[in-house]
Amino acid sequence: MAYDISALPYSILAGSIFIIVLVSAVAKLYNGRKVLFALSSAALIAVVLASYFLFLSGSNTVFLNIFRVYPFSDLFGMLIASLLLLVNIQAFGASGDYNAFLSLFGFASLGMFAVVFASSLLAIFLGIEAMMIATAFMIIIEHRHHVEAAIKLFLMGSVAAAVFAFAIALLLPYDPALSLAAIPGLPGAGKYLISLSLFLIAASLSFEAGIFPFNLWIPDVYEGSPGYMTPMLAGINKKVAFVAMISILFITFGYYVHLFPLLFVALSAATMLFGNLLALVQDNVKRMLAYSSISQAGYIMVGIAVATQYGIESSIFQIFAHAFMVVGAFSIVAWLESRNIKTVGDYAGLASRNWIASLSLTLFMLSMAGIPPLIGFDGKFLLFTSAAYAGMLPLAFFGVINSFISMYYYWKVISSVYSERHKEKLRLTRSVAFSVAVALFMVVIVGIYPQPLISLAGEASRSLLALV
Amino acid sequence: MIPIFAIVPLLAGAFISLAMARKATYVKHVAIASSIASLAVVLYMALYPGVVNSMTWFSLGGATANFVTSTAPLNLLLLVIVALMTPLILVYSSGYMKVSSEQPRYYFLICLFAASMMLFAISASFLTLMVAWEMLGITSYLLIGFWYWKESASQAARKAITTILAGDLAMLSALILIFHAYNSLDFSVVLHAPASPALYAALVLISVAAFTKSAQFPLNEWLADAMEGPTPVSAFLHSSTMVKAGVFLVLVLFPLYKEASLLGLFLVAGSATAIIGALNALSEKHIKRILAYSTMEDLGLMFVAIGLGSVVAALLLFVVQTFYKALLFMSSGIMMEANDGRTDITSIYWDGSGKLLMGATLVGVLSLAALFPLGGFFGKAAVDASSNTLPMYALLLVVQFVSVIYIFRWFFIPLHRTPNVSETDVGIGYKTIPLSMLSPVLLLAIFAALSSLTYLYLPGYLGFHPVAISFGEWVAVTATIAAGGYLANFLYRRNVPARARAKTANGFFNRVAYSSPYINMFYMLLVRILFSAAAAVSAFDGLLGSAVGYATGLSIKAAYLLRRAEDGQTNVYIIAMVVGMIAIVAIFYL
Amino acid sequence: MFPLFAIIIGIPAVALLASVLTGGRFGKRLSISSTLATMVLSLYLAASTFFGNFAPSETYGYISALGINLKFAATPFSVVLLLMASIVLFATALSGNPEAEKEGTAGTLILLFQLAAVGIFTARNLFAFFIFWDIGVIALFFMINRLGSSNRKKASYKFLMYEIFASAMLFFGIILLYMTTHSLDIGYITANASSIPLPYQAAIFLSLFVAFMTNMPLFPMHAWLPDAHTEASTQGSMLLSGVLTKFGGFGMLLLFGMLPIAHAYALDTAVAASFSAFYAAFLLLKQTDIKRVIAYSTIVEMGIIMLGVSTLNQFGTFGAVYAMLSHGVTIALLFLVVGVLHYVFGERDISKLRGALSGSKTLSYAFIIGVFATTGIPLTATFVADILIFLGSLGAFGIYSLLPIFTIAVMGWYLYLVIDRSIMNSKNPLPVLNPPGLKQKIGIALLLLAIFAFGVFPFVIIKILKG
């Protein structure tokens, strides 16, 4: 079992972390940033490839009783690893202490993969904690003035962790091993206990996932984080939380699916509206995007609220879609912030300063607003049709109206970008340009031809539901 | 030969004229040649009448819209009149239009107009009719506004097109009603169709359209203003051809009107217009406007004849009026030309050098006054003869009496006026009037005199019973002329003190009888109501806009309120989380 | 088989890509050649539909997981509307920009809009329909936002918010349709729509109707149009009124042809449409900017078109298509002429522009003929359209449905007032700042030719419409 091929991604990563820590100790002496970068990138690429081949093989194996390798986890392993790669590249291009970053980054990645490949509630708990703590420290690395954001994240994360631990504890009587397996439907008091546990787990994961009202910290932390960390927070941490949420909800509470609509319809609707309303009144683009990513979390929740295979498939698709949109958009926004271009007003004339960045930003925002034929539209189409299929027409309608509202603030930025003329040109740094290019590829090409990704998401969701 | 060939030479002439903008001096020859070619074609057609040609324009769902043209006798009548008038007008124009840069446009429009008028004459379906009808409208619009840079011309054109537009849309509605009811637009189908409410409505609408084109009360206001156009245009469109399109249309559809008992409509509108026209002509001073009001009166009389059920009387007046009115317009053009473009009859003079012209004009005047045996007599006497009640008859005689007075006034005032020395020096005078302007007038004088022959031949040709004009009629009409002539001579001859003249002419008539301002006031009131409605709608629209704005503002404000809660205080965030959790659990368990 | 639709859609797509990749340097040339090619192709399509039973259709696999194919087909309506759109697009690309302002950007955006227009009129799948719809909206948003006059930001915003609202409603309607029929194929839905439960049909109808009425626009969703026109460049206005509003009209045709429940609402929509026409006609009377006058005339005309769609009979429906055809070319002509008038005289206000006829004959006569065409003079295309629409409405709703003809009278009256005030009436015209170029004259001539061609030979279009 220990030599099972399915352990590959996690082994690669764990092995390379070990090597990286070793090398970084040596590299400190030789200033070997490049070596470290090459090593870590190679490791991540290896994880992507390994996950991909595992996905193709369609294997479903449990490894060490904590990890499970099956299409759902493979797919997200691919996503997370490739996003991590983009963050790694940007961090390499940034001015902070790369060695320190990398060791924390490795730690965080381990946590993330623990969540993605988890076969045990404990693995998820530990993974999320590792991710959260490492992330909080990564925020501080670049500059001291990021401390406030880090503390906020850490503090709020601790509260969430406590709740999560309590919620798992409630399940102990029914599953002492705390494995990620379905708890049968129970009558009487047990039912109440389990549903309480369900709600608390949902609430605590809502913290990382950015669901209202557990998301108030998000704009502060996103705004106060260094350039490469915002994409990571919005594009990876949040998605990992969603992975955890989907796997726990649909595996552990697989027999309680009937409870989902009641809870998540309200959460989803409130989150969408909250994010959109507050984004309307922001001048700072980064903050606005933070709120917009909250509303996007609300859309992802639609699929969970629907609680059908089609709904999960749609959510998975939207997680992919939003991950790339938000990484692309935040990369550009953070790059501009480093040149002291922050508010909507500052964005005026961006088109004349760097038309490629402007066009990309426009496309990301259009995609987030759900304009076809970009990926965000495909995601929304899937989500809202899934809601409609499940008979949740009001939710679908609410989602449509919300995407209409969101148009207002996206266009405020786009309109500003294309307004004046500015003489001074801006050059994209290579690391940002690479991330943007990858994200743009996903947003446009997958947007125009979403069929492959939909199939992947479909297979992943089916493999997930097969576990119940 | 299919009837539509009649208009081909003119259409060709029109577009060649337009294309010859660079060689403007030859344009008139092209136009005249094309009109003569058209005349030849028409005369050839007149030899073989009764040709009907039908082309399908579109067919859909069982309904077919045909473009039908025909040379039935009635169609031929108008066709020949138009074809005959066109060369005369063009020859007259060649003397009248001197600015060569405007000539291509002028001849283009005149030829296009003549072509549309011919198309109208030969139309035998509502489709053909509608096409011709609207082409008449727009060419007339562009011709009235020919001197577009003049404010008065531009406004007159607008007034005309607005009235015409109302008529067009009435016509369109009628066309749609008929098309819907009978699935066809051919006159041959509609004329034999069973009566129906739709047909009734359509007939009313068509009569409205006819009234706009023929300047019947209360849609008459545009005609007098239309005199802003060039004089040949007034002579052609606004007296002899286009304005009679309405009359002609009603004549064509007469059986339907009779069956639907709608003739009273024409009687009322016609007599009102005749009275208004006659009275206005009496107090007007503009040399062409007097004739325009007179045209209104004539058209009114034609409608009266139709209203009385006498198609033949209407047709007789229809034919004879063409010649004497065109003649009078042409000579008024010459008078204006000779008097340096002045239009007020009190500042225009005749002198001895225009004897030939004066004689021709007198033929026109007397014909209008209905002196036996000139053409006008037969037209007007026929109308009188068709009246069946005494009040009607009296009314017609009064109108005739007034018309005798105003036409002599028109003739006498310039005749008896002694020009100032300066005027004769400055004015062009009658000696330099080119032959091209003079010859059509003389020719028309002959036509006007000979048009009395129509009394003998027209009814037979068209297959109607002739109208009998009794000796009593003759006496009555002639007595009217004598009385009117005497009174006019008394009022407007040379030696009557100016005071008396001024009193009669300006006092009573200008204040009471000159109805134009009242009708205008009525329309201004309509416009004002329309604008008030527009203002109200616009205000509502503004309110609607601000309501949307207000709603948007409210939601933004709500968002700002929400933002205040997000002030970066971690404890608030934690409280929110806890409250959220409690709420989730509470919602479920309660 | 000859992949006609792939080519028709591929031409603007490739040209757009080329234009973007070269940074818009060849935008103008690319847009002219691309629109010309599309015009030739759509003329070919129209001709082959006229002469034979040529009904090509192409299907490309798209999202098989959701059963969504990209199907394109030449339905009679789409052939006619494609013809109209391609003529307007070519005229716009060729002559709509006399100032030669930001030619590259304008050309690129025209290409983007062209992609949307050819796509939307040929798409037989609602998914593709929606995609092209939004592309069109975005193209025109940028057209206003980047190429308009001083207040363009606000106007473009307003335009966008209304259009995105429409798009959201359309999206919701499509979701509902997909949910109830498990298909987005228009042909399939039309064939199976009667199996949709009535409450759902009502919801679908309502959301799609609101979407299309916002785009057309009808009262009370009309507020975006006049502002957008005032601020848009000439090209923007031509495309906005000429083609974009037809998206909504075309959508209405699809909607009314698709859902059986439309019969239940036909009278209501007819009343709403007529009211909208009257409302706009009254608003039109308060305008002093010629462009705004024409903009409001669009709302009037769209109301009449909607009346035609509401009739649900052959006359009214064909009339609506015919009216879209005629209105597209007519309004494009009017906006082009007003734009060039502004370029020539530097003025667009009724009270300030004067004596244009003394200054520029071509433009003034083109304007006058445009007004004739708007009021529906025979031998212009609008005449046929009016006859067909009101024939249909007379059959469907009785004699009161002829009342909207009155709006044409009001509109015509005011347009003639405009001619009186601004075109004629003065011996001293404003000084000519720039003479109009040859391209502008060609564009005007092309549109005039279209107006008369469609007006003189209605049997051609009607035969195409009969299929």
Residue type, B417: R
Q: Quick one: pLDDT band at residue B486, thresholds 50, 70, 90?
A: confident
CA distance A262 to chain C (A): 21
- Lowest pLDDT segment from C99-103, C123-127, C298-302: C99-103
Cβ distance B198 to C399 less than 8 Å, yes or no, reads yes
- Give B308-349 pLDDT, tens digit per residue: 888 888 888 888 888 888 889 888 888 888 777 788 777 777
Q: Cβ(B182)–Cβ(C388) under 8 Å?
A: no
Say what the pLDDT of residue B501 is.
Answer: 54
Mean pLDDT of C41-70: 84
Q: Cβ(C262)–Cβ(C337) under 8 Å?
A: no
Q: Considering only CA atoms, which of C408, C330, C335, C329 is closest in space to residue C375?
A: C408
DSSP B499-536: HHHHIIIIIIIIIII--HHHHHHHHHHHHHHHHHHHHH
- Lowest pLDDT segment from B558-572, C9-23, C266-280: B558-572
Chain A with chain C: Cβ pairs closer than 8 A: 77
User: Is the Cα torsion angle B369, B370, B374, B379 positive or negative in sign?
Assistant: positive
- Give B85-107 pLDDT, tens digit per residue: 999 888 888 888 887 778 888 88
Phi, psi of C70 (to 5 degrees): -95, 105
> Is B510 a residue whose pLDDT tops 70?
no
Subunits that touch chain C (at least 3 Cβ pairs < 8 angstroms)? A, B
Query: CB burial class (10 A; 0-12, 13-18, 19+) of residue C359?
Result: buried
> Is A10 a residue whose pLDDT tops 90?
no
Q: Quick one: pLDDT band at residue C443, thresholds 50, 70, 90?
A: very high
Subunits that touch chain A (at least 3 Cβ pairs < 8 angstroms)? B, C
List the single residue in A with minimal CA-CA distance to C138: A371
Q: Which of C313, C413, C426 sits opposite B162 (nearest CB)?
A: C413
Q: Cβ(B319)–Cβ(B444) under 8 Å?
A: no
State which of B463-467, B488-492, C22-26, C284-288 shows the largest mean pLDDT.
C284-288
- Lowest pLDDT segment from A160-174, B516-530, C107-121: B516-530
Q: Which of B566, B574, B588 sits opposite A278 (nearest CB)?
A: B566
Q: Which of B573, B579, B581 sits opposite A156 (nearest CB)?
A: B573
Say what the pLDDT of residue B391 is.
Answer: 87
> Is B471 a residue whose pLDDT tops 90?
no
Mean pLDDT of A6-12: 74
Phi, psi of A131 (to 5 degrees): -60, -45
Q: Considering only CA atoms, which of B382, B372, B340 is closest in space to residue B481?
A: B372
C397–B contact, CB cutoff 8 A: no
- Lowest pLDDT segment from A12-26, B507-521, C105-119: B507-521
| Domain limits, chain C | 4-466
- Give C311-347 pLDDT, tens digit per residue: 999 999 999 999 999 999 999 999 999 999 888 888 8
The percent of residues above 70 in pLDDT, for chain B, comes to 92
Say what the pLDDT of residue A2 is.
Answer: 45
Residues 491-550 of B with CB under 8 A from A: none
Cβ distance C175 to A396 less than 8 Å, yes or no, reads yes
Three-state DSSP state, B68: strand
* Euclidean distance between CA atoms C310 and C320, whole angstroms: 9
Angle value at C-alpha B447, between B445 and B448, nearest 5 degrees: 65
List the single best residue of B570, B571, B572, B589 to mutate versus A (max A Cβ within 10 A). B570
Mean pLDDT of B283-305: 88
- Give A401-410 pLDDT, tens digit per residue: 998 888 888 9
The percent of residues above 90 in pLDDT, for chain C, comes to 47
Between A309-338 and A285-306, two packed helices, what is the crossing angle to 10 degrees? 170
- Give A137-152 pLDDT, tens digit per residue: 888 887 777 888 888 8
Other C-beta atoms within 10 Å of B155: how many? 19
- Give B40-56 pLDDT, tens digit per residue: 998 998 888 888 889 98
* Euclidean distance between CA atoms B335 and B340, whole angstroms: 9
> Is A438 a residue whose pLDDT tops 50?
yes
* Euclidean distance between CA atoms C115 and C139, whole angstroms: 10
- Lowest pLDDT segment from A54-68, A237-251, A364-378, C236-250: A54-68
Residue type, B520: N
Say what the pLDDT of residue C420 is.
Answer: 87
The percent of residues above 70 in pLDDT, for chain C, comes to 100
| 3-class SS string, A345-388 | HHHCCHHHHCHHHHHHHHHHHHHHHCCCCCHHHHHHHHHHHHHH
ipTM of the complex: 0.91
* Euclidean distance between CA atoms C229 and C293, whole angstroms: 10
List the single best residue of A415, A454, A456 to mutate versus C (max C Cβ within 10 A). A415
Subunits that touch chain B (at least 3 Cβ pairs < 8 angstroms)? A, C
Residues 136-175 of B with CB under 8 A from C: 137-138, 142, 145, 148-151, 153-155, 157-158, 161-162, 165-166, 168-169, 172-173, 175
Say what the pLDDT of residue B117 is.
Answer: 92
Say what the pLDDT of residue A241 is.
Answer: 92
Chain B neighbors of C399, CB-CB under 8 A: 177, 198, 201
Q: Alpha helices of A31-146 — where are they, by DSSP H?
A: 33-57, 71-93, 98-116, 121-142
pLDDT: which is higher, A468 or A325: A325
Chain A neighbors of B574, CB-CB under 8 A: 155-156, 159
Say what the pLDDT of residue B284 is.
Answer: 81
B537–C contact, CB cutoff 8 A: yes
Chain C neighbors of A449, CB-CB under 8 A: 62
List the single residue in C with minimal CA-CA distance to A397: C172
Query: CB burial class (10 A; 0-12, 13-18, 19+) of residue C66?
Result: buried
- Give B184-214 pLDDT, tens digit per residue: 889 888 888 888 888 999 999 999 999 998 8
- Per-chain mean pLDDT for chain B: 84
CA distance A455 to chain C (A): 7
Between C224-231 and C290-311, two packed helices, what is the crossing angle to 10 degrees? 140
Three-state DSSP state, C163: helix
DSSP C66: G
Say what the pLDDT of residue A1 is.
Answer: 41
- Give B130-177 pLDDT, tens digit per residue: 999 999 989 999 998 888 888 888 888 888 888 888 999 999 999 999
List the single residue in C with minimal CA-CA distance to A416: C153
- Give B247-288 pLDDT, tens digit per residue: 999 999 998 988 888 888 899 999 889 888 888 888 788 888
CA distance B586 to chain A (A): 10
- Lowest pLDDT segment from A125-134, A258-267, A311-320, C88-97: A258-267
* Cis ω for the linkage preceding B373 (within 30 of 0): yes
> Is C40 a residue whose pLDDT tops 60?
yes
Mean pLDDT of C252-274: 92
- Give C152-210 pLDDT, tens digit per residue: 888 888 888 899 899 999 999 998 888 888 888 888 898 988 888 898 899 999 999 99
Q: Quick one: pLDDT band at residue B472, thresholds 50, 70, 90?
A: confident
Q: Which of B131, B150, B169 sits opposite C408 (nearest CB)?
A: B169
